[in-house]
């Protein structure tokens, strides 16, 4: 057997495998883009030609998986900070109507750099604003993800229900069904990679019940299923949305989705805050997943999802930061912490364990994106998406349990982040881009967009 390319040695290892395997001191080796082997104690001597990361004082976990985001919002942070979802949307739609290929690339780069700095190795994105003449916005964000080096699941989102038709968004930011379906087909053909170690996979994602028609939902589902890609949308985020659905469709948002054929193990909903018991049962029976976004739900006062009940029922649950316009930090590590705190605040001390919170941020996200055999846990043969957290600084040294330190302590610096076996972060700094230049570009793009210049 030949030697691996890299070994991470001397760290605590929390694998998040089915058996819950953990080592207080352990090692993990990487060959190419895959995890090769792991074990307890110090690593075997693989010889002088093997790269080595000294993991002493650190915790190694699977990279975190972000199941819901809107990268373009990185340049519209700090606006409408004290509004309801519908008020917030109506203030922001006119700003978003001015985005273009260049500003989306800058925003996506900034957002992805921030995700990498907080341990995220795979991110989804829900892009649904395509202003006429704005250029190829999907290509812009896919280019940004390739530059930063994260595994990426962009969705071709859409809106076709403008204000004049009884929807929420202004007419200038909606598209026709024909244009949306043509662009969706093109996106799948150009970008979707079904292979085991894919760095880009596409899904289709009409935006929400109050911004798309039922026809678009049905036709998007038919297209996605014929092409073998997944389906994503916002659902049951606020009580206002529930009222909208009751008034317009005579049913709850979840019942509306079932009526449209939008349930199944190829579907995941962002938020799913306001679900009744039958909705949870339907999602469990059909394998429909949830991107739980506790920080955004708190920022917008949307409510607290029934996460403990969803997990107990067997619904696939992952975590998401949601767009930065409703979560200025967009820290992937804040999501397991907030998921746990919210779950316990409403459900008591046993509503969610610390290890379940970490599992939602890793394997849970992998399941929601349909990649549970490839990412989400540290097991030989899986892809080398790994986060090495420093727990030896004054903020964490002496916390007895490394998983508690990670989930309940302040955010620790990353000693290293590997994606597909490639280093993206070292000593807390993203090494694939010039971070200072990214910050300057974001500030300039924000000034131009928000000032309307
Ligand atoms: Zn969202």
Q: How far is the CA of 237 from the centre of ligand 1 (A)?
A: 9
Residue 126 CA to residue 159 CA, distance in Å, equals: 12
In a domain, 449, yes or no: no
Same domain, 284 and 146: yes
Q: How far is the CA of 187 from the centre of ligand 1 (A)?
A: 20
Q: How far is the CA of 140 from the centre of ligand 1 (A)?
A: 19
Q: How far is the CA of 230 from the centre of ligand 1 (A)?
A: 17
Same domain, 241 and 94: yes
Tell me how many domains the chain contains: 2
Q: How far is the CA of 323 from the centre of ligand 1 (A)?
A: 6
Q: How far is the CA of 176 from the centre of ligand 1 (A)?
A: 21
Average pLDDT, the chain: 96
> Cβ neighbours of residue 436 under 8 Å, at least 6 residues apart?
none
**Could you tell me the pTM of the whole model?**
0.97
Residue 68 CA to residue 324 CA, distance in Å, equals: 11
Same domain, 385 and 257: no
Is residue 365 within 8 Å of 335, Cβ to Cβ? no
Q: How far is the CA of 376 from the centre of ligand 1 (A)?
A: 22
| pLDDT tier, 101 (very low <50, low <70, confident <90, very high otherwise) | very high
In a domain, 444, yes or no: no
Q: How far is the CA of 46 from the centre of ligand 1 (A)?
A: 46
Is residue 332 within 8 Å of 339, Cβ to Cβ? no
Q: How far is the CA of 170 from the centre of ligand 1 (A)?
A: 18
Residue 1's pLDDT is 60
User: What percentage of the chain exceeds 90 in pLDDT?
Assistant: 93
SS3 344: helix
In a domain, 437, yes or no: no
Q: How far is the CA of 287 from the centre of ligand 1 (A)?
A: 21
Question: Looking at 317, 348, 369, which one is the last position of a domain?
Answer: 369
287: Cα within 13 Å, side-chain hemisphere: 9
Residue 101: which CATH number?
3.20.20.140
Q: How far is CA 385 from CA 147, 382, 416, in A?
A: 16, 8, 11
Same domain, 129 and 249: yes
| pLDDT tier, 345 (very low <50, low <70, confident <90, very high otherwise) | very high
Q: Is the dihedral of CA 110, 114, 120, 123 positive or negative?
A: negative
Q: How far is the CA of 408 from the centre of ligand 1 (A)?
A: 25
Q: How far is the CA of 34 from the centre of ligand 1 (A)?
A: 31
Q: Is the dihedral of CA 418, 423, 424, 426 positive or negative?
A: positive
Question: Looking at 323, 351, 369, which one is the last position of a domain?
Answer: 369
Q: How far is the CA of 182 from the centre of ligand 1 (A)?
A: 23
Q: How far is the CA of 298 from the centre of ligand 1 (A)?
A: 13
Q: How far is the CA of 190 from the centre of ligand 1 (A)?
A: 25
In a domain, 448, yes or no: no
Is residue 332 within 8 Å of 66, Cβ to Cβ? yes
Residue 291's pLDDT is 98
In a domain, 435, yes or no: no
Same domain, 27 and 78: no
Provide mean pLDDT across the span 412-430.
Answer: 98
Residue 257 CA to residue 218 CA, distance in Å, equals: 10
Residue 209's pLDDT is 87
Q: How far is the CA of 361 from the centre of ligand 1 (A)?
A: 17
User: What percentage of the chain exceeds 70 in pLDDT?
Assistant: 99
Token pair 């090495």: residue: 388
Q: Domain range spanning residue 76?
A: 64-369
Same domain, 33 and 52: yes
Structure tokens at 388: 């090495």
Question: Looking at 342, 369, 396, which one is the last position of a domain?
Answer: 369
Structure tokens at 334: 């804040």
Q: Could you report the per-residue pLDDT of 270-303, keeping only the tens digit for each?
A: 999 999 999 999 999 999 999 999 999 999 999 9
Same domain, 388 and 286: no
The set of long-range contacts for 215-222, using a CB threshold of 8 Å and a minimum separation of 24, is 215/177, 216/158, 216/160, 216/161, 216/177, 216/180, 217/260, 217/262, 218/260, 218/261, 219/177, 219/181, 220/158, 220/180, 220/181, 220/184, 221/260, 221/261, 221/262
Q: Is the pLDDT of residue 453 over 80?
A: no
Same domain, 112 and 242: yes
Same domain, 288 and 381: no
Q: Could you report the per-residue pLDDT of 324-336, keeping only the tens digit for each?
A: 999 999 999 999 9
Residue 14: which CATH number?
2.30.40.10
Q: How far is the CA of 351 from the centre of ligand 1 (A)?
A: 25
Structure tokens at 20: 């819950």
In a domain, 164, yes or no: yes
Q: Could you report the per-residue pLDDT of 32-57, keeping only the tens digit for each?
A: 999 999 999 999 999 999 999 999 99
Structure tokens at 111: 């957002």
Q: How far is the CA of 421 from the centre of ligand 1 (A)?
A: 30
Residue 113's pLDDT is 98
Same domain, 240 and 222: yes
Provide mean pLDDT across the span 320-346.
Answer: 96
Q: Could you report the per-residue pLDDT of 139-162, keeping only the tens digit for each?
A: 999 999 999 999 999 999 999 999
Q: Is the pLDDT of residue 452 over 70?
A: no
Q: How far is the CA of 69 from the centre of ligand 1 (A)?
A: 6
Nearest Cα residue to 318 out of 251, 369, 352, 284:
369
In a domain, 445, yes or no: no
Same domain, 14 and 72: no
In a domain, 443, yes or no: no
Same domain, 255 and 360: yes
Q: How far is the CA of 188 from the centre of ligand 1 (A)?
A: 21
Which string of DSSP letters, residue by residue, matches 69-100?
A: --GGGGGSTTSSTT--HHHHHHHHHHHHTT--
């Amino acid at each position: 057997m030949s030697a691996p390319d890299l070994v991470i040695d001397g760290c605590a290892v929390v694998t998040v495998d089915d058996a819950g395997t953990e080592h207080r001191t352990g090692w993990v080796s990487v060959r190419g883009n895959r995890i090769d082997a792991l074990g307890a104690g110090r690593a075997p001597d693989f010889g002088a030609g093997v790269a080595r990361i000294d993991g002493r004082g650190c915790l190694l976990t699977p990279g975190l998986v972000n199941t819901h985001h809107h990268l373009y919002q990185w340049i519209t942070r700090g606006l409408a900070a004290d509004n309801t979802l519908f008020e917030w949307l109506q203030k922001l739609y006119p700003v978003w109507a001015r985005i273009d290929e260049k500003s989306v690339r800058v925003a996506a780069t900034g957002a992805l750099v921030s995700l990498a700095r907080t341990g995220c190795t795979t991110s989804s994105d829900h892009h649904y604003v395509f202003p006429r003449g704005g250029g190829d916005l999907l290509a812009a964000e896919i280019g940004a993800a390739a530059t930063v080096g994260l595994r990426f699941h962009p969705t071709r989102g859409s809106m076709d229900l403008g204000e004049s038709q009884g929807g929420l968004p202004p007419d200038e930011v909606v598209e026709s069904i024909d244009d949306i379906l043509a662009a969706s087909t093109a996106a799948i053909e150009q970008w979707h990679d079904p292979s085991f170690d894919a760095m880009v996979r596409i899904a289709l994602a009409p935006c929400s019940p109050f911004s798309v028609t039922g026809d678009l939902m049905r036709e998007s589902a038919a297209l996605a299923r014929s092409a073998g890609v997944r389906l994503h949308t916002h659902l049951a985020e606020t009580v206002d949305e529930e009222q909208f659905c009751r008034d317009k469709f005579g049913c709850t948002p979840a019942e509306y989705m079932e009526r449209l054929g939008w349930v199944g193990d190829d579907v995941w909903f962002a938020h799913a805050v306001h679900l009744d018991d039958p909705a949870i049962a339907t999602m469990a029976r059909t394998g429909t997943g949830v991107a739980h976004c506790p920080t955004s739900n708190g920022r917008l006062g949307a409510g607290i999802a029934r996460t403990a009940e969803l997990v107990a029922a067997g619904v696939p649950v992952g975590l998401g930061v949601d767009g930065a316009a409703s979560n200025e930090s967009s820290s992937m590590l804040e999501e397991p912490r907030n998921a746990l705190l919210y779950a316990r605040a409403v459900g008591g001390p046993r509503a969610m364990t610390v290890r379940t919170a970490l599992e939602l941020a890793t394997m849970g996200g992998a399941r929601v994106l349909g990649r549970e055999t490839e990412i989400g846990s540290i097991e030989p043969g899986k892809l080398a998406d790994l986060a090495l957290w420093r727990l030896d600084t004054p903020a964490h040294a002496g916390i007895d349990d490394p998983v508690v330190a990670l989930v309940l302590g302040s955010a620790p610096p990353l000693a290293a982040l590997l994606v597909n076996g490639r280093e993206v972060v070292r000593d807390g700094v993203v090494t694939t881009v010039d971070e200072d230049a990214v910050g300057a570009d974001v500030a300039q793009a924000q000034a131009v967009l928000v000032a309307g210049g």
